[in-house]
Amino acid sequence: MSELYPARATVDLDAVAHNVGVLRERAGAAEVMAVVKADAYGHGLVPCARAALAGGAAALGVAQPGEALELRSAGIGAPLLCWLTAPGTDLAPLVQAEVEVAASASWTLDAVAAAARAIGTTATIQLKADTGLGRNGAYALPLRPGARTDWADLVQQAAALEAEGVVQVRGVFSHFAYADAPSHPTVRAQQEAFADAVATAEGAGLRPEVRHLSNSAATLTAKGAAWDMVRPGLAVYGLTPVPDVGSAQDFGLRPAMRVTATSVLAKRIRAGQGVSYGHAYAPSAETTVIDVPVGYADGIPRHASGVGPVQVRGRRLAISGRVCMDQFMVDVGDLEVSDGEEVVLFGAGADGEPTAQDWADAVGTISYEIVSRIGHRVPREYVGASGR
Ligand SMILES: *Cc1c(COP(=O)(O)O)cnc(C)c1O
């Protein structure tokens, strides 16, 4: 089947397991929850979840209920946290599957309690505090000095449900706004606000066994923020969340994804021939161009027009002209090439090929976006034994 698609993403599951090992070491006594949302950042949900567990992850984290149930359907029974549910979602399947639903609001606690009562079980849940990200989570900062917070209300409601026996609050957590800038003042302020939020929860009688705050960047740069668990995503896949602080290699991380495509045509064109839509590129002399059959529908950013780095026969080159929906062109000069040439888009970088970070730099984004948007027409192929 996969030969019917001209590009592929090879994912090294041993790299995933290795990276979890690196993160475990960084986390000290804290456990690792490997974040596998968004199809494991484009690397493949189930295989990467298994590899992360094989590498020593104690738990998995996802954003959406569908992702959580997909893991359970695959037979993965590890502790699993799901933090983005919409009002109106029937949480019973999640409670039944022993997925820990994260509550950011009162409605979530109501819904999870209703599901637990209907099933006749105690739902294990976690509570999410907004300690200053200004996104998901119950707001844990007072609107005015001394004012009662949304967080205080949420923990009180949760404590009442615990007393009734319908929920058990296993964890409390929050998320950083600026962990990628370790010296930013909000990093410290959020750590303090999280300590206050934990104290509020414990003051209400909750005894959360896992308290966690650190994403990849904080796991790698802010040791004091690890609490009982860290929650890295990007670094699990071997990419650096803080390219200005350290490369993947500096942290001992191994990029797990390598994307290659087989070109479909090589041809000589004359001097001045515009290449691809809008003729944004025109060689000044006769040259050879190759047609690479992946485009923005496959997650190659259109912003990579003229700049996206590739490697052909060991040589670093760039996309020539515009990225189209299904293809882009590369001027290879007088390089001897065949029609069906292997083109490396990105990989670990060990053989001079571009990395996902190089792509991010070239198009002005973050490596998260490069890997997670690689599309369905790029079949994932797995190498490595971890988790199989
Ligand atoms: C995505 C996400 C993470 C992982 O973040 P990385 O920067 O990829 O390590 C952790 N926690 C929450 C709540 C997230 O949404």
Residue 165: give its domain's CATH number.
Answer: 3.20.20.10
Residue 71 lies in a domain: yes
Ligand 1 atom index nearest CA of 219: 9
- Cβ within 8 Å of residue 378, ≥6 positions away: 5, 7, 8, 9, 259, 294, 298, 299
- Structural domain that includes position 317: 257-383
pLDDT, residue 223, reads 81
Ligand 1 atom index nearest CA of 234: 8
Active-site residue, from 37, 237, 368, 382: 37
pLDDT, residue 67, reads 98
Residue ID of nearest Cα to ligand 1 atom 15? 63
Residue 249 lies in a domain: no
Listed range (44-48, 66-70, 84-88, 223-227) with the worst mean pLDDT: 223-227
User: Ligand 1 centre from 337 Cα, in Å?
Assistant: 42
Would you say the CB of residue 35 lies under 6 angstroms from ligand 1?
yes
**Are 219 and 289 members of one domain?**
no
**Are 228 and 317 members of one domain?**
no
What does pTM read for this prediction? 0.97
- Cβ within 8 Å of residue 380, ≥6 positions away: 8, 9, 10, 11, 43, 44, 47
User: Ligand 1 centre from 62 Cα, in Å?
Assistant: 9
**Are 191 and 280 members of one domain?**
no
The mean per-residue pLDDT over the stretch 142-166 comes to 97
Do 229 and 210 form a contact (C-beta atoms < 8 A)?
yes
The mean per-residue pLDDT over the stretch 117-139 comes to 98
pLDDT, residue 224, reads 87
Ligand 1 atom index nearest CA of 231: 10
328-333 and 229-230: which strand pairing?
A: unpaired
Would you say the CB of residue 301 lies under 6 angstroms from ligand 1?
no
Would you say the CB of residue 234 lies under 6 angstroms from ligand 1?
yes
Distance CA 53, CA 296 (A): 33
Distance CA 111, CA 52 (A): 31
Mean pLDDT of the chain: 97
Residue ID of nearest Cα to ligand 1 atom 13? 175
Residue 1 has pLDDT above 60, yes or no: no
Active site residue 37: yes
User: Ligand 1 centre from 69 Cα, in Å?
Assistant: 19
**Are 266 and 204 members of one domain?**
no
Distance CA 142, CA 123 (A): 29
Distance CA 126, CA 112 (A): 11
Q: How confident is the model at residue 2 (pLDDT cuts 50, 70, 90)?
A: low
Number of domains in the chain: 2
CATH code for the domain of 270: 2.40.37.10
Do 282 and 307 form a contact (C-beta atoms < 8 A)?
no
Residue 251 lies in a domain: no
Q: pLDDT for 65-89, tens place per residue?
A: 999 999 999 999 999 999 999 999 9
Tell me the sheet residues that pair with 59: 33
The mean per-residue pLDDT over the stretch 288-296 comes to 98
Residue 231 lies in a domain: yes
Residue 248 lies in a domain: no
Amino acid in the structure at residue 112? V
* Matching residue, tokens 């882009």: 328
Residue 4 lies in a domain: no
257-262 and 7-12: which strand pairing?
A: antiparallel
pLDDT, residue 171, reads 98
Residue 283 has pLDDT above 70, yes or no: yes
CA 7 to centroid of chain Cα atoms:
22
Residue 12 has pLDDT above 80, yes or no: yes
Would you say the CB of residue 50 lies under 6 angstroms from ligand 1?
no
- Cβ within 8 Å of residue 371, ≥6 positions away: 41, 42, 43, 237, 239, 257, 356
